[in-house]
Amino acid sequence: MTDTKRYYVTTPIYYVNGSPHIGTATTTLLADAVKRYERMRGTNPFFLTGTDENARKVLEAAQEAGKEPMAFVDEVSKRFVDTWRFLDCDYDQFIRTTDPRHVFVVQEIFRRLLATGDIYKGVYEGWYSVKDETFFRDTDVDAATQTVIAEGVNKGASVERVQEDAYFFRLSAYGDRLKAHITANPDFLLPPTRRNEVLAFIDEGLRDITVTQNRTGWGIPVPG
C-alpha cells in the first residue's frame, strides 16, 4: 500500500569556497540512494540539495580568485550541478542561497518572526570561526590561543573575538517544547546517542542565537 505522506531527503547545502570533493559526493550519493529506496516503497520522496553562497569564507575565496562574488559563486555552483549530473544523482531541486526564490522566502520568514517577537535586535559579543561559519561559547574556546577546545569536529578551529549589532532568534523560549516533542517521538532524532546528546544540550538551557551578520556585505539583506 502506498504511503500518502511525502518523504523528504536533504543534503547540507554546500559552501562554494571550493569545488565538490569526495565528502560532498559521498553525502549526496547516500541521499540519492535513500530517495531511490523511498520511491520503491511508494512514499513519493522529494530530494533537495544545493549550495550556500552567502558566507564570509566564500567572499574571501572570490577575492583570492580575483573575481566578483556573484561570478565566482555562479562558476563554482555549476561545478556542483555538473558533478551531481555526472554521478546520476536524481535530485528534485537544486537550491542556491542567491536564488531570488530563496531570498524572498528568507526575508518573509524574517518579517513574520520579527512581528511575533521571536526575532529581536541586540548586540552580540563572542567567539566566531570564519572557516566553520560558527559562533562558540566562552567555555568552548581557549582565549590565549584563540582556538576551539571543545570536543567535536570544530576542535582546534581558529576563532576571533567579535562584537556587533545583530538580530537574535529567541531559541530560549522553545526549550520545553523541543524537549517534549523529542521525548514523545523517539524516531524524530536518530541514532539514540545523538538524541540523548541533544536532550542534554537542551537541559543545559538554550540560548538565543544570532541570525544576522554585518561584517561582509555579502548576504541576504535584512528586510526593511
pLDDT at 44: 93
pLDDT at 136: 85
More confident residue, 60 or 49: 49
Q: Where are the alpha helices (DSSP H) in 117-223?
A: 175-184, 192-203
Q: Is 169 exposed, middle or buried (0-12, 13-18, 19+ CB in 10 A)?
A: middle
Q: Which of 54, 152, 33, 167 is nearest to 102 (CA)?
A: 54
156 pLDDT exceeds 90?
Answer: no
C-alpha cell at 49: 540539495
pLDDT (tens digit per residue) in 70-127: 999 999 999 999 999 999 999 999 999 999 999 999 999 999 999 999 999 999 888 8
Please give the domain boundaries of the chain with CATH numbers for all domains: 8-98 (3.40.50.620), 102-210 (2.170.220.10)
The pLDDT mean for the chain works out to 92
1 pLDDT exceeds 60?
Answer: no
Which pTM value belongs to this model?
0.82
4 pLDDT exceeds 70?
Answer: no
- Is the Cα torsion angle 75, 48, 31, 201 positive or negative in sign? positive
The average pLDDT across 118-138 equals 86
